[in-house]
Structure formats: C-alpha cells, structure tokens
Structure 1
Amino acid sequence: MNEIVKNQFDAAAGQYDSQRRRLIPCFDDFYGMAASLIRTEEKSPDILDLGAGTGLLTAFIHRRYPEARYTLMDFSGSMLEQAKERFAGTGANVRLIVADYATEDFGGEYDFIVSSLSIHHLTHPGKRELFRKIRSHLRPGGAFINADQAAGSSGLYDAYYRELWETSIAASGLKPEEIAASKERRKMDINTTVPDQLAWLREAGFAEADCVYKYADFAVFHATGVSGPND
C-alpha cells in the first residue's frame, strides 16, 4: 500500500477515534450496519479485520461477540498501538499484526473477514486481487463485510457527495487544521463504483454480494456464498 498513506495515518493515529464521528456524517449507521452483518450461532468466531487501524470496527463487533477471536492487521504500527490501548483490560481475545494486508499472508481461515475505510486506498487491480485473496481465506459459510467509500456513477455525483461531506465537516467543530489534514488524506483515495465492486466480488467467487447500506459515498458491502476452495 502507498507509503504516503501510511505516513498520513501514522501521524493521525492519536486523534483518529476522536475525529471519526465528526468526519463521517452517517457514523452510527455506517459502523452499526457493518457490525450487524456478523451473524452466527458460534459464540467465538474467528474474525480478521483488514486495515483495522485503532480497532474501531472491531470494537462495534466486540459488543455483540465478546468471546470472538479477533485478528487485527494494519500496516501502521501507530494505529495498532491505539487498538492495543482500546482493548486493554476488556478481556477481548485480540491479536495484532503490523503488516500490509495487500501482500501479507493472512495465516489461515476465518469465519468473517471485515474492513472499514481502508480498501479504497488500493488500485483497482489491487482491489480485485484482494477480493480473491479474501475469498480463499474464508471458511465455508463465511462472509466478507466491507464498510468503505464508493465512487459515484459519474463526476456529477462525486461532486455532490464531496459537497455534502465538506458541508458536514465544516459544521462539525473540528479544528481548521484537522479539516485540512482530512481533505489532504482524501486526495489519496481511489474510490470505485458500487456496481464495479459487486462485479469484482462475484468475479472473486462469492455466490452472493450486495451493497446493503449507502449514504452518499459511504457504503457497506456484504459478500458470502463461500462453499469450497477457489476454482
């Protein structure tokens, strides 16, 4: 993954959580929907969080599955240090791995693989390859949940989504330098349309895939139907 992106998130690690709610207009619905898609009778499923950062999405899931086994992978050690502090004393079964998930082996199979606001940093070929890799590391009956950004169907909608977001953060109470830093980070985004992402998930071998939630350019994807090894 891009080294510039890594440096930006290293620098933002200490303020990341405090800014999220004000930078994401649909914060509760966005993360809440992603967490609600973890559905299993198993009390301690194995869950891999890619680009886990400070463990924000995992924290939402942990409220519902406190006995799950969590693996958090991120290329920013600074972000994972924040995750370590988040889960300290909670009794959560959390393993932290500092690595680039685009190139690192996932080390086994999982019941669920999740990600939030990370995969859009990959190139389009990188996303397609990652989706295939994710499918190959899911157990039969497993699912992939991705809460991420999505491009509009045209420049008209991208401009509209950007206007909505900038209006929201201008009224968020964030400091001007925090807003400027967030805008700078978004210059590195490589967003992909919803139809393209769904097509790539099916291409990767998922039998079922849908965008189950969308607010402007914030979208939650669910893909399942893993019944065996990759073809």
Structure 2
Amino acid sequence: MNHIKNHVKEKFNENAPHYDQQRRKLIPCFDDFYSVPLSLINFEKEQPSVLDIGAGTGLFASFVKEKYPGAHITLIDLSENMMALSKERFKGDPQVDYVIADYTVHEFNKPFDLIISSLSIHHLTDTEKRKLYDKVFSLLHPNGIFINADQVLGHTPFIESLYKRDWKHKIEASGLKAEEIQAAYERTNLDQMAPLQDQLDWLQASGFVDVDCIYKYFNFVVLFGRKL
C-alpha cells in the first residue's frame, strides 16, 4: 500500500467515530446526493448482489438495504475503524459481508448486479481511477449498473475556486466545531480529484453505456454507467 493510501487509512480511522454525524454538514447537498442514486436503482429481483467500494461506515449501502431488504451486500474499505461501524450498523444481518482491503487490488470471486461508491474514488490517482473503472465493469453482471457519488475537480482553476469557496462558506456556517472544520480541511489534502468530463470518458472507455452525470451540485456529482 502506498504512502497516500496509508495516510487516507490513518485519517479515516481517526475520524470514524464522528463520520456519520458530520457527513450531513460536510455535504451541503446531502439529501439529493443520496436520494438521486437510489432513484436510479431499479431491479426486478428482490435480492440483488451489491458491492460498495470504499464503503466507510456503510451509510450508502444502508440506503440500498432499505430499498432492497433482501440484498446481498459486500462492503470493502481500507479503514478497520470504519468497517467496525459498518458491522455495528448491519449487526445481525447475515446477508452483509465485510472486507478490509484495498479495493483497487483486492480479488473478488463473484460478479455483482450493482456496484456503488460514495466519496472514495476521488482519493485515487487518475491512473488508478481508470484501472478501477475497468475492474468495476468486469465485475458487473450483464445489465448491471455502477453508481459513483463523488467529488470532481473544476475543469478550470476559476471554476475550482468557485467550488471551494462555496463549500467552505457552507461548512463554516453548518454548526461544526472549529476543530472539526479544520480536520475536514486537512482531509482535503488527500484528494486527487479529476474533472467530470475525464471521468465520463474513462467510464465509456471501460465499456459502460448510457454514461451520464445524473446529478451535480458544484463539485458533488452522481455518475452512472450500465453494462450491456
């Protein structure tokens, strides 16, 4: 595991106890950011197989579980402390599996109907993102879908400055404590965001069809792709 990933793991292990409590305040568009992806998920089967990469505390997966109580869900994350919170969230549910590993190199032994991710992939280098999109495509069943709720880089320095200014203004008015805001700022040093159009192009290059940015709020986006 490289230095950046180790640092990401350390920071999220450290912040795990406060993560869910802070997330609504750190994501100004929280409700849309999670409700829009859920509206895209429509399976006839009652027990879809789901993989959540960079699952953290299992928040995104928990919303999927509410919609599909019978879903078989696999959660994977680097952070042991985050995964411990996931285990507590889904305690007693035998249809949830937990993997503490680097999802960019972990070998999965089964395909999935749905692969989701939330606020994780932007920590990867661009090369890692492109390889991951190839991997995600290979792991999906035919007609499977991939949904990535994440952050993107402004396509010009000026646009990026607008994104940052809006986010800082909103979180500083959110009621978070000064030390919580400072910790959030420090975690942004781990970001390796890529522009939206680049990521849409990479998804198409990986083989996905119907690729789209379904939702966008400044640099918060929901990306969608389908495997024929």
Q: How far apart in 2 are the matches of 1:113 and 1:215?
A: 22
User: Do residues 197 (structure 1) and 194 (structure 2) align?
Assistant: no
Query: For residue 48 of structure 1, what is the aligned residue in structure 2?
Result: 51
Q: Which residue of 2 aligns with 1:183?
A: 185
Structure 1 residues 92 and 170: alpha-carbon distance in aligned structure 2, compared to 1, 3 A threshold = farther
- Corresponding residue of 2:144: 142
Tell me the equivalent position of 1:207: 209
Shift of 1:206: 0.9
Which residues in structure 2 correspond to 1:1-231 (within 5 Å)? 2-89=5-92, 91=93, 93-224=95-226, 226-227=227-228
Corresponding letter in the other structure for 1:134:
V
Following the alignment from structure 1 to structure 2, what is the Cα–Cα distance between the partners of residues 96 and 156?
41
For residues 107 and 52 of structure 1, what CA distance do their matches in structure 2 show?
18
Query: Normalising by structure 1, what TM-score?
Result: 0.95
Q: In 1, Cα distance between the equivalents of 2:73 and 2:45? A: 14
Q: What value does the CA root-mean-square deviation take over the aligned residues? A: 1.0
Provide the C-alpha distance between the structure 2 equivalents of 1:92 and 1:24, rounded to a whole number of angstroms: 31
SS in 2 for 1:190: coil
Write the distance in 1 (CA, Å) between the matches of 2:109 and 2:84.
Answer: 21
| C-alpha distance in 2 between matches for 1:38 and 1:77 | 28
Contact 1:35 1:57 (C-alpha < 8 Å) held by counterparts: no
The 1:132/1:157 distance shift into structure 2, 3 A limit, reads: same
Deviation (angstroms), 1:92: 6.4
**Structure 2 gap ranges (5+):** none
Q: TM-score, normalised by structure 2?
A: 0.96
Q: 3-state SS of the aligned residue for 1:5?
A: helix
Unaligned runs of 5+ residues in structure 1 are none
Task: Give the 4+ runs in structure 1 shifted more than 6 A.
Answer: none
Cα shift at 1:33: 1.0
Q: Is the 8 A contact 1:211 1:222 kept in 2?
A: yes
